[in-house]
Amino acid sequence: MITYCAKEQSFHLSTKNASYLFAIYKNAYPVHLYWGKRVYGQEALWSLEAAYRRFERLLSPEPDDDEFTLEYLPQEYPAYGTSDFRPSAYQVRDANGDRISDARYIGYEIIEGKPPVPGLPSCYAETDDDVQTLVIRLRDERLKLTICLYYSVMSEYDVIARHAEFCYDGAEPLYLENALSMSLDNQRGYHEMIQLCGTALREKHIEKRPLGNGITQIESLRGVSSHQQSPFCALVNRNTTEHSGDAWGISLVYSGNFILRADADMYKSIRLQVGIHPDTFSWKLSQGDSFHTPEALLAYSSDGLNGLSQRLHAIYMQRLARGLWKNKERPILLNTWEACYFDFDHNRIVELAHAAQKAGIELLVMDDGWFGHRDNAASSLGDWYENRRKLPRGIKGLAEDVNALGLKLGVWFEPEMVSPDSDLYRAHPDWCIHVEGTKRSTWRNQLVLDLSRADVCNYIIEQLTNVLSSANIEYVKWDNNRRITQAGSALLPADRKGELFHRYMLGLYRVLETVTQRFPHVLFENCASGGARFDPGMMHYFSQTWASDNTDAISRLKIQYGTSLQMPPLFITSHISASPNHQLERPSPLAFREHVCMPFNMGYELNLLALDDQELAQIAAQCDHYRRIRRLVQFGVFSRLTSPFEENACAWQIASNDGTEVLIWYYKPYAAPEEAYIRIYPVDLDPYASYMDQLTGKRVQGSMAMQLGLTIDWVNGDHFSQMWHLKKES
């Protein structure tokens, strides 16, 4: 996986289908040479190029000569304050207030396996044979600072994981003002950046941006990875499609403030960087301290965007997800939120459980409103004890009645928040994030607990442990409905105020690690007003994520299509809701809503007690059908076929790993006049095999289906969908 050429001090990191090359320039600076389709051989320093008239200046002087410059070098981890005028990967401030660093190469080490990133979520190796890790050591002797650059080569997944470690052994404190997870300069260039953007109820929409001169940047400063942007991008060339061409992906395993940018210089060399956002970050290093950045995943595909997605899906599912639920089918659930909101009691939940049992639903989730004196969104967050008026026998009694019907029980929490109207806030008003003397913005009638504090984290752990130990609770929906403002902590001293946002994330990850390890049987679902924190960092702890609070079927096509660019269907929960939809008031047929949700982690978000017998029978049939294909849906290979961002249509498929079984869905949201010759073209079928559609009994030959296409039934009207279930015949 990792080879070293002593002659030119170069490193070749090779995965199954990709290569990543860099070298140590003049025994001082790591310089990037290549990242892309697999190449063979070792010596590559000859490929280093510079602008024509600057070539002599690049090659002639030595690093300590007055004429030496870093401006034209394609670097791997550039410092601030040198002769490189592009954005730096790190910046430090010393005791004199100076910010200059000149860290140079002092050695390397190759480790079998992959060390974890302390305190942070990261990918892992199952055995030492699984992964090799290269550690490059840089040293700034003046500052007494050592920087270790980690490159873990996940060969089977075509992914390289990068992060940096800063180790300090000086006498006076040193302050990190910027510490990114990775940086690289690609002199070949890319043409477009694909990002996932949006807002609440409109998450993960795909947007393409041309990469011209200057900086193209996405970011979050909200305290979470955000609805607005995602800590992910795909870089493509002009000829890249879903199924062909080069695609490079960068994904940050982090859930807080981030920055991801591409800076094209005057020669069209592009510097790619991702990491913690420097605008809300600083970190004090005292003698003996070290700091680790979050992990960045770099994936490459020569098979277009689908190939890139499949690499990311695989590594998230097999080397980021953990625990009992890693390879276990997710149950079909009914969430009570859109069924009754805050208006429920024990009997109402049991009535819903009876209806859910008849429909074949497997898990009932009691959403917001079961704790404190919470009858609306204005109170009780932080008071995690049962509302005995609603639940006279407590959660334990409710779980007993729900379990007696053959269903599992789940509950909703929002552990990171506190209501001003709560026993917790009255006892500990200093436990929220705030700056003394300024107003405390109570957006959504709530404040954010200060998870940079150990006592606050311990309280959350204790409260959740008490509730989850009190009854047979088998699912938790963990919500986060407020962004961080007035960012201050009562405990952090003045010279550590800039650490709040990152310390919050470290505290959150400690809480999640503790609670999920204490209750390994519980299925934990991630939510933040829908998809505001749907990122790889949370996937290390949560087995699925509520992709959006918008359950409208047509809206969900774009949300789920964009989300699938990075996330596997197993992690994308998608619920069939009422008609008209509660968010958009748009009616849609039950069959269409089923087809939209079925290729993902399917559940329900409606009042079963308000449905007639025919609709309940339809839901029972849906659940039965989904159970029969669930393993294939949740663990198959996902491919996008038709983009709703480009057409009045959407299509995707899921194939078994051995290719013998294929599910395909096609959607036409809106009627169009005089449509004809509509076809959908599946991918990756066996061209020589015959397949039978299990839904119609029709046969189709593999190569013909891929080249001639599968014909779409012409039906007038909005909300049209069609499904195929192809099985290979022996």
pLDDT tens per residue across span 336-360: 999 999 999 999 999 999 999 999 9
Quick one: 581 and 714 in the same domain? no
Q: What is the predicted pLDDT for the residue at 46?
A: 84
In a domain, 451, yes or no: no
Q: Return the structure tokens found at 294.
A: 């979050």
Q: What is the predicted pLDDT for the residue at 72?
A: 85
Give pTM, 2 decimals. 0.98
450 touches 406 (CB < 8 A)? no
599 touches 329 (CB < 8 A)? no
Angle of helix 394-404 relative to helix 346-359, nearest 10 degrees?
20
Quick one: 137 and 283 in the same domain? yes
Q: What angle do CA 40, 44, 46 make, to 5 degrees?
A: 140
In a domain, 339, yes or no: yes
CATH of the domain at 293: 2.70.98.60
Which of 576, 611, 634 marks a domain boundary?
634
Q: Is 261 helix (H, G, I), strand (E, B) or coil?
A: strand
CA 569 to chain centre: 12
In a domain, 502, yes or no: no
Q: Which of 222, 237, 234, 223 is nearest to 260 (CA)?
A: 234
For residue 361, the one-letter residue type is I
Residues near 621 by Cβ (< 8 Å), separated by ≥ 6?
none
Catalytic residue list: 479, 549
DSSP 184-215: EEESS--SEEEEEEEETTEEEEEEEEE--SEE
Quick one: 180 and 311 in the same domain? yes
19 touches 35 (CB < 8 A)? yes
Quick one: 226 and 106 in the same domain? yes
DSSP alpha helix (H) spans, 450-589:
454-470, 500-518, 536-539, 553-563
Quick one: 576 and 723 in the same domain? no
Whole-angstrom distance, CA of residue 61 vs CA of residue 560: 53
In a domain, 31, yes or no: yes
256 touches 475 (CB < 8 A)? no
In a domain, 509, yes or no: no
Quick one: 135 and 159 in the same domain? yes
Which pLDDT tens digit goes with each residue over 31-83?
999 999 999 988 888 888 655 456 666 666 899 998 888 988 899 999 999 99
Which residue is it, tokens 């009992």?
A: 324
Q: What is the predicted pLDDT for the residue at 674?
A: 81
Q: What is the predicted pLDDT for the residue at 54?
A: 62
Number of domains composing the chain: 3
Domain that holds residue 689: 642-728
For residue 138, the one-letter residue type is L
Which residue is it, tokens 């209750």?
A: 519
Which of 634, 664, 685 marks a domain boundary?
634
Q: Is 555 helix (H, G, I), strand (E, B) or coil?
A: helix
In a domain, 435, yes or no: no
Which of 319, 342, 358 marks a domain boundary?
319
CATH of the domain at 366: 3.20.20.70
Residue 106: count of CB within 10 angstroms of its CB: 14
Which H, E and C letters describe 302-369, residue by residue?
A: CEHHHHHHHHHHHHHHHHCCCCCCCCCCCCCEEECHHHHCCCCCHHHHHHHHHHHHHHCCCEEEECCC
Q: What is the predicted pLDDT for the residue at 475?
A: 98
Q: What is the predicted pLDDT for the residue at 57?
A: 63
Quick one: 22 and 142 in the same domain? yes
CA 372 to chain centre: 32
Q: Which residues of the chain have pLDDT under 70?
A: 49-60
Tally DSSP H helices, then E strands, for the chain: 13, 38
Quick one: 220 and 140 in the same domain? yes
Whole-angstrom distance, CA of residue 692 vs CA of residue 333: 31
In a domain, 430, yes or no: no
Cβ-defined contacts of 511-514 (< 8 Å, 24+)? 511/415, 511/451, 511/457, 511/460, 511/461, 512/541, 512/542, 513/541, 514/461
In a domain, 476, yes or no: yes
Quick one: 73 and 191 in the same domain? yes
682 touches 693 (CB < 8 A)? no
Quick one: 570 and 690 in the same domain? no
Q: What is the predicted pLDDT for the residue at 53?
A: 55
CATH of the domain at 676: 2.60.40.1180
Quick one: 400 and 544 in the same domain? yes
Q: What is the predicted pLDDT for the residue at 111?
A: 96
DSSP 76-107: SSPBTTSS--SPPSEEEE-TTS------EEEE
N- to C-terminal Cα separation, the chain? 38
Quick one: 340 and 299 in the same domain? no
Whole-angstrom distance, CA of residue 67 vs CA of residue 54: 12
